[in-house]
Chains A and B, each alone.
Chain A
Amino acid sequence: MSDATLNTSRAAGTQGPDKQAAAMGETGKPVAFRGGGFAPRSPKWVGVAVFVVLIAIAEWGTRTGWISALTLPRPSDVLATFQELYQSGMLFKHLGPSLARLAVGALIGVSVGVSVGVLIGLFSYVRAGLVPLVAAIFPIPKIALLPLFVIWFGIGEGSKYALIAFGTFTPTVVATYGAVDNVDRTLIRMGQSFGLSWWSIVRKIVLPGAMPGILSGLRISLAIAIILLVAAEMLGAEYGIGAYILQAGSLYDLERLFAGVVILSVLGVVTSTVIGLIERRVLGWRT
């Protein structure tokens, strides 16, 4: 089929271009490839490999004496400390209160943050009034406010919840109202043109449309929550990962310090993975 059309077009055409093409064919070279790239993927084993290599270097360095024991604890010692922590049952005694503080604080901060963010995204006066306020609160190191929170909410759990909630609140607000601003306006016009109520438009169009932005804001908020957990446990906490790390730090017990830090890192990886799973479930509609 294609041969036939080629032949007829040749027969119809003049000889000139054909000869030229033949001459070019002799010396022709393939067109250089210059596409590709800019589409990163993440093969699973690479991330693990990076951890393994770094830990192996640390282990090797401390064993040969190339890294002194004061600079960095030996990874195998940290592991031993961790085992001890687990076997003595102290791990869960520390982990339990910390997770509770994290969950309650982040829940309060994120839910208030999402609500305020949506309000800023929808109402001119709320936006005019609160955007500067949020901008003013955002850069305050929340740790500096811990004494204030202790006075307001007491030395117990209250001040810890408040610190974490306050710390997650601001990034959530900023991410949420940015996400609401980015919801496709034609979808909102569509909702109005079909006579949907205001509340329906917010619930069925604005919120789902803002979900990608809210979830990526959540990644940042929860990381900040973990950072603030240590700060929250600086005052008046007997148990908790943060308390454990601070105690080890003040004694220069590097093995325990690192064991605590590893727990925080794992916590970070776990939350990030969980959000990734939620994204895959909730945002399956994205192209």
Chain B
Amino acid sequence: MDIKLEAIGHSYDGVRVMRDITLDIPDGRIVCIVGPSGCGKSTLLRFIGGLERPMEGRVVQMGEAPEGCLNPLTYIFQDFALLPWRSVAGNISLVLEDHGIKGAKAKAIIDDVLARTKLSDFAQALPKQLSGGMKQRVAIARALAVNPAVMLMDEPLSALDSQTRELLMDDLVSLWSRQPFTAVYVTHNLNEAVRLGHKIVVLSRRPGQIREVVEIDKPLDQRQFGDADLDEKQKYLWQLMREEARAADAELLNV
């Protein structure tokens, strides 16, 4: 299932935040969206998942979601968004209950996704007992449970410390290598973008527009921490963004 963005534009209270964004999200690839703060990256992600409506243009889904897919467009949030009153297993069962999946069938799915995210021992733990990295792995497990066609990740690693971030990036890569998923990955961290993105979309500052789309052909599982060619790409991206980021930083926040 592909996603197409057609000439998306948006303003908040008369302030134009986004202009003419046209983009293809091909099946089985990870598209990273980077840009200076306030360029509307997260807003764009909310448009793609249908949590907000753009004023201009539209988001189109090409083709049907594959069989067995409970929630085609599934988010992973920066602040994890786990229900603190439910255990790890309960948080995952939350998203299954509404699809009428209960009892043994739900347990099978929960056990499977917890095994894939290496959380099997923590099924009964409450979120308050987990570290940040584990919480985000629970959120990833929850997303996997509904078998998404497209994962929409809103700065999923930004709330974590840098070591945990490295580990989770490896986890994401191994998840993808085992079973490629489609993802839109919003981040302000260029290192994450070059490690995880097949396609990196650089947005300009407000009003957000596509400045450039950078493609990286190197397979995900061959990308390593500190690879020279990736560093090269990262430097190039930073050059694209540098002035924008500086200018964006000097603007008043009114969004």
Q: A: which residues have CB within 8 A of B?
A: 186-187, 189-197, 200, 204-205, 208-209, 211, 284-287
CB distance from B232 to the nearest CB of A (A): 34
CB distance from B231 to the nearest CB of A (A): 30
Which of A192, A204, A211 gathers most chain B CB within 10 Å? A204
Cα distance, A219 to B121, chains bound together (Å) = 38
Instruction: Specify which chain B residues have a CB less than 8 angstroms from the CB of A189 in the assembled complex.
Output: 51, 77, 81
CB distance from A77 to the nearest CB of B (A): 50
Q: Does B84 sit within 8 A of A, measured CB to CB?
A: yes
B 80-116 contacts with A by CB, 8 A: 81, 83-86, 94-95, 97-98
B98, A195: Cβ atoms under 8 Å? yes
B146, A186: Cβ atoms under 8 Å? no
A204, B94: Cβ atoms under 8 Å? yes
B83, A286: Cβ atoms under 8 Å? no
Cα distance, A6 to B245, chains bound together (Å) = 42
Cα distance, A191 to B98, chains bound together (Å) = 10
Instruction: Specify which chain A residues have a CB less than 8 angstroms from the CB of B126 in the assembled complex.
Output: 284-285
- By beta carbon, the residue of chain B nearest A196 is B98
Cα distance, A250 to B81, chains bound together (Å) = 60
What are 18 A-B contacts with C-beta separation under 8 Å?
A189-B77, A190-B81, A191-B94, A193-B49, A193-B51, A193-B73, A193-B74, A193-B152, A194-B146, A195-B71, A200-B97, A200-B98, A204-B83, A204-B97, A208-B83, A209-B85, A211-B85, A284-B126
Which of A189, A190, A196, A286 gathers most chain B CB within 10 Å? A190
Q: Does B185 sit within 8 A of A, measured CB to CB?
A: no
Q: Does B79 sit within 8 A of A, measured CB to CB?
A: yes
Q: Which residue in A186, A208, A211 is a CB contact (below 8 Å) of B81?
A: A186
B95, A196: Cβ atoms under 8 Å? yes
Instruction: Specify which chain B residues have a CB less than 8 angstroms from the CB of A211 in the assembled complex.
Output: 85
Number of interface residues of B (CB under 8 A): 24
Cα distance, A196 to B84, chains bound together (Å) = 17
B128, A285: Cβ atoms under 8 Å? yes
Q: Which residue in B73, B85, B95 is a CB contact (below 8 Å) of A285?
A: B85
Cα distance, A186 to B83, chains bound together (Å) = 10
Instruction: Specify which chain A residues have a CB less than 8 angstroms from the CB of B84 in the assembled complex.
Output: 285-287
- By beta carbon, the residue of chain A nearest B146 is A194
Given contacts A187-B83, A193-B75, A194-B95, 17 further A-B contacts (CB under 8 A): A186-B81, A187-B81, A190-B75, A190-B77, A190-B81, A193-B49, A193-B51, A193-B73, A193-B152, A194-B98, A194-B142, A204-B83, A204-B94, A204-B97, A208-B83, A209-B85, A285-B84
Instruction: Specify which chain B residues have a CB less than 8 angstroms from the CB of A197 in the assembled complex.
Output: 98
CB distance from A22 to the nearest CB of B (A): 37
Instruction: Specify which chain B residues have a CB less than 8 angstroms from the CB of A284 in the assembled complex.
Output: 126
B83, A205: Cβ atoms under 8 Å? yes
Instruction: Specify which chain B residues have a CB less than 8 angstroms from the CB of A186 in the assembled complex.
Output: 77, 79, 81
